[in-house]
Each structure stands twice: as C-alpha cells, then as structure tokens.
Amino acid sequence: MFSKIWYKLVTTVTGGAVLIAFFSIIAKLVGLFRDRLLASGFGADRILDIYYASFRLPDLIFNTLVLGALSAAFIPIFIRLWEIDKKRAWELVNITINKIVGLLIVLAILAIIFAPLVVKIIAPGFTGADQTLTVTLTRIMLLSIIFFGFSNVLSGVLNSVKDFVPYAIAPIFYNIGIIIGIVWLYPWLGVRGLAWGVVLGSILHLLLQLPAVMKKGWHYQFIFRRTAEFGKMIKLMLPRTIGLAANQINQLVITSIASTLSIGSIAVFNLANNLQNFPISIFGLSLAIAAFPVMSRAWATENKSDFRGSFSLTFRKILFFIIPVSVFVLILRAHIVRLVLGTGSFDWEDTYYTAQVLGIFALSLFAQGSIPLLARSFYSRENTAIPVIVGIISVAINLILAFWLSSIWGIIGLALAFSLANIVNMLLLLIILREQAGDLDDKNVILSVIKIGINSILSGGVVYGLLHLLAPVIHTDTFLGLLIQAGLAFGGGLTIYICLALVTNMDEILIIKRFLAQYFGFLFKNKNHHGTE
C-alpha cells in the first residue's frame, strides 16, 4: 500500500513537486532557525553585514558557473543520453564532475589570492578592520564552492531520473552545517567559525546525495576528454553563464550600495530576502523543478500539446499558491519578522526595517515565484539565450533604480528596485514565451489569474480584519500571544481562500482534491476494504 503511494510520489510531476515542497519546507524551517540564531546572537549589526558580504565572491563564482548554468544545460542533455545509452550518460557525468571541480579549484585559489581587492569593491563602506575580517571569511567560504560543484552535478542526475528525495533533503544538511558553525564553531573559533560552518554544510550537501547516485549505477572515473555532448553542454551554458554573471554582479552592487548605508543594511536585506524565499522555494521552485524534465521530454519528442499543458498547469498552480501568500505576507510582515527573528540582539528598529523590506518584496512574490518556471520553459526548449537577455535587462533596471531609490529611501529604496526589476523580468519572459510557443492555454491562465486575484484580496481582508479584532483580547507583547494572533488571522484567511476557490470552481483546487484522493483516498479505501473482510 505505502509502496504504491511512494511510487506515485517519486514518478509523477505532482508527486515530485510534493516531495520537493515538503523537504523544502523542512529545509526552509531549518534555515529560519539558522537566521533566528544569527539574528538573536548578533542583531542587524556589522558582524552580520560582514557575514553576508563574505558570501558574495563565492556565490559569484559558484552561481555563475555551476548552479543555474549547469542545471539549464546538463539536465536536458543527460536525459537524452539516459534514454539512448546509459553508459555514455555516466561518462558525461564523470567528465562534467572532473572539469567543473577542476575549474572551481583553480578559481578558488585565484579568488583567495585576490580576495582583498575584490572585497574593497564588494563592501566599500566597510572600515579597514571590517574589510580584513570580510577577506578572511570570504577565503574560508571559497572552499565550499568545490564541494558544491561536485554536489550539484549529482543533483542534476537525481533530478533527471526523478529521484527527488536526496536532492530535496540535501539543503537541510547544508543548513545544519551552518547551524553547527553558529552554535559550536563560533564559540571555539570566533567569527571564523561561522564561515567554517558554511564549508561543513557544503560537505554534508555532497555526502547526502552521493549514495543515491551510486545506487543508480554511477561510479567515479577520471575522464577528462571532450565529447560532443559535453561540447553541446558548454555551448548551452555560455549564454546562461553570462546571464547569471549579470545577476551576481547585481547582487554585488546591492551589497556594495547597502554597505554605504546605515550599519545593518546588508543584514536587513538578506534576512528579509531569506524570509521571502520561503514561499518562493516551496511553491515556485519546487513546481518548476518537478515540471522541468516533463517539459524537456515534451520538447524532445516534439509534443507541443504536452509542453503547453505542463506549462499552463504548473504556472496556474504556482500563482494559486503564491498570490494569496504574498497578500498574507504583506499584511503579516511585522508579525513574521517578530516571530522568526525578534529575539536576543534583534531589537525593534531591526524588526521594523526588516518588516518594511519584506513587505516590499511581497509585492513581487508572484513574479519571483514564476521566474523559475518561465526560465526552465526556455531551457527545456534548449534556448538559454532569451532568459539571459531578459535577465540582463532586468539587472540593468535594478541597478539604475537601486542607485536612485536608495539615495532617497535607503534600504527601503533598494528593496523597491529589486521588486520592480523582478516584475519586469517575469513579464518579459512570459511575453516572449507566448510569442515563440504560441497559445499557452491563455484562456484558462487568464481566468485563473482573475479568480486568484479576487479571492486573494478578499481573504487578505479577512486576515487584516481578524488582526484588529483579536488585538484587544490577545497580549501581543509575548511570543505566544503574537503567534496566536497571527496564526488565527492566517488560518481564517486561508480558510476563506480555500472556500472561495471551491465556490468559484477553480481548476487548481480541483487538482489538489484529485491529488488528495489519489494518494490519501487510496489509504482510506484500503482501510475500508480490510474492515469489511
């Protein structure tokens, strides 16, 4: 019985999305606990500014060369090879590991040497002592990109063969490594312990996925030759690499600007960004990742109907979840920040600015949640150029707005620039995809967006009303009181949203009902069957 349910979960797009979403929730909860430890221990102060600034150079190298570029190029080619010749597919894996890891080792050494120069660009607002500490943490964190390079190739394999569980669990262990750094290594090694926790997390991320890939039949070989498949992968990676480089430069500029603002601005921006990434990862990224192999296969077999259907269904699911969540986050932003971060050294001023930045981010959650799917829609068609061009345009808009708006509103202006640029990014990708692919089930998409928007606003009004009704009777100066008030308001809004979705006969709620009947109804049918025997 359970084996049949598990089989459905690991072999279907919806099941894969559920698994990824479930473990993403766990990973994000662990991540929020990590942020709570950081906020309570240091507050939005210079140490956290230094800590987050130290990620910028390692992230520039890793995210540009590996994270997005590799997944966009490696997965479609590996899937094609896997269907034809598994031996050649494993050969591609080993060649990719050897060349990617080798390149990352060389780049890490160069980055360690030139870190002092780069840090001066990343954080011009830091003093000499702060810059020195940022250089030290950056050099330690650079070691993590080597392990992540290896690990993310394995992630691409597991994603391709729909083995979503190890892939989804790995980020949990990454956060556990960082928590170990905060709790145990920091008291022992000082601030350097925070950076060593990041390295430990990257090692755990690799070790968690290694047995699963070996079980599929992979074994390591030192193969370094160039093959046609690897050459095609590099060709596909190049435009995506340029786009990701632009995005990482965007992050560098944001950090650079924030370092010149009030102390704690880098920390506030990153903490609010981590909070908003919770729903983006759960609803946007998990559904996009699960749909990517299906869209890739549909395009490979020239089945435009399957491609259109998979995109439309996934896009509507993402909006069904992300739009009401964005409304709820906007209304409950102060409660969220106080509950997750508001303890220890994280004072009211830190809470206020983080909540305001989170509220501005909420305005673009629908766009940020949709971009992973839209980008993968192009990748599945082996077109990495369009997302790159659109990304560069949105980055340029973000940078122009960031310099202008931050000079007026400080960190709030920086967040507003970020949100506006993401909305432009999403709209441009959608318009171009529609132009290239034709009808994307437009009628159903537009109808869903209208229903979702109206239902979200109405349910958001319920959340807002409940907050004010409960305020006189609940002591919100305690964690428990704040949790009860926010929980009841959120629960009331969610209940109304679900009821409205049922009343308006939304396809997305019917899909959820069918999913529950498919997986959990199976349990009850078996239970009733055994009960009659």
Q: pLDDT tens digits for 208-231? A: 999 999 998 899 999 888 788 888
d(CA 376, CA 516): 27
Average pLDDT over all residues of the chain = 88
Domain that holds residue 142: 46-253
The CB-side HSE value for 232 (13 A sphere, CA atoms) comes to 13
d(CA 319, CA 198): 33
In this structure, what token pair is assigned to residue 478? 């305690």
| Weakest-pLDDT range from 129-133, 426-430, 529-533 | 529-533
Based on the number of CB atoms within 10 Å of its own CB, is 217 exposed (0-12), middle (13-18) or buried (19 or more)? exposed
d(CA 199, CA 193): 10
Which of 145, 144, 134, 142 shows the shortest CA–CA distance to 191? 134
Whether 484 is covered by a domain: the verdict is no
Residue 15 has pLDDT above 80, yes or no: no
Residue 524 has pLDDT above 70, yes or no: no
Q: Which pLDDT does position 529 carry in this prediction?
A: 45
Q: Are 205 and 151 in contact (CB under 8 A)?
A: yes
pLDDT one-digit tens code per residue, 266-324 = 999 999 999 999 899 888 887 887 788 788 878 777 778 888 888 998 999 999 999 99
Between these two residues, 298 and 264, which has the higher pLDDT value?
264
Q: Which pLDDT does position 8 carry in this prediction?
A: 59
Whether 287 is covered by a domain: the verdict is no
Q: How confident is the model at residue 14 (pLDDT cuts 50, 70, 90)?
A: low
Whether 71 is covered by a domain: the verdict is yes
Q: How many domains does the chain have?
A: 1
Whether 470 is covered by a domain: the verdict is no
- 307-314 long-range contacts, CB within 8 A, separation 24+: 307/380, 307/437, 308/437, 308/438, 308/439, 308/440, 308/441, 309/441, 310/13, 311/373, 311/377, 311/437, 311/440, 311/441, 312/440, 312/441, 312/444, 312/445, 313/511, 314/13, 314/287, 314/288, 314/290, 314/373
The DSSP secondary structure of 384-419, one letter per residue, reads -HHHHHHHHHHHHHHHHHHHHHHHHHTHHHHHHHHH
Whether 433 is covered by a domain: the verdict is no
Whether 144 is covered by a domain: the verdict is yes
pLDDT one-digit tens code per residue, 155-188 = 989 888 877 788 889 999 999 999 999 999 999 9
Q: Which pLDDT does position 333 carry in this prediction?
A: 97
Q: Which pLDDT does position 523 carry in this prediction?
A: 45
Identify residue 354 by its one-letter amino acid code: T
Whether 530 is covered by a domain: the verdict is no
pLDDT one-digit tens code per residue, 309-366 = 889 989 999 999 999 999 999 999 999 999 999 888 999 999 999 999 999 999 999 9
In this structure, what token pair is assigned to residue 398? 């973000």
Whether 7 is covered by a domain: the verdict is no
Q: Which pLDDT does position 464 carry in this prediction?
A: 97
